[in-house]
Amino acid sequence: MFMKTKNKINHFPLKIGQTLAFGSGRFHFSPKNFHEHKRNWSYDHESQTGEKFLRIFIGADHAGFKLKGDIIKYLKTLRISFDDLGTSSDARVDYPDFAFRVADAVAKNKNARGILICGTGTGMVIAANKVRGIRAALIYDNYTARMAREHNDANIACLRGRKFPIKKALKILKVWLQTSFSKELRHKQRLQKISKYEEKFHACLP
């Protein structure tokens, strides 16, 4: 349907700013999207429960580099917009650098989610949760992926890149992407307590 060239996209007659319905989402054609060579098409993805998120920020260290590439391919098949924030090879790096990049990006973009991968996923969870407004969760099966969204409104999913089957990782990620926060009062109240403590802590900083 689409053929991307160096400076433009050839497609059937569509004007800039025009919206094309496709499945559960919509493509928005804009000059910015025409020239973003590292990013997928701008796409409003909807979960099965109707929640929308506009973009995924993804990052990994050397141990998660390979899985990151597989996840990016998967996001493309789902036509979900994403930003790859590194790393760009399997050379040894420090996971906090990439955790902070993704966490900062998600915290600044209300309708975004993040994906982080390291050897076990644990280091990414610890680092990402140091950023105010981030609720990063380690997901390792369908249940933890679903509960992270339904009960905790997790905005970053952390995965293990070592000794974990790719097919299983993608299946778990799909559950996380398609699940919305339940918005039940008990869960909202618990998250509000976390937010209030965050605000209290940051208010004490010089």
Q: Which residues lie closer than 8 Å to 67 by C-beta, 6 or more apart? A: 60, 117, 159, 161, 164, 166, 169
How many C-beta atoms surround the C-beta of residue 169 within 10 A?
A: 20
Q: Count H helices, E strands: the chain? A: 7, 11
Query: Can 151 be counted among the known catalytic residues?
Result: yes
Query: Can 158 be counted among the known catalytic residues?
Result: no
Tell which residue, 79, 65, 91, has the closest CA to residue 24. Answer: 79
58 close to 72: Cβ distance less than 8 angstroms: yes
82 close to 75: Cβ distance less than 8 angstroms: yes
Active-site pick, 28, 45, 62, 118: 118
Q: Which residues lie closer than 8 Å to 91 by C-beta, 6 or more apart? A: 62
Active-site pick, 151, 158, 187, 204: 151
What is the spatial distance between Cα 65 and Cα 117, in angstroms, rounded to a whole number? 8
Tell which residue, 197, 169, 151, has the closest CA to residue 58. Answer: 169
**Catalytic residue numbers?**
118, 151
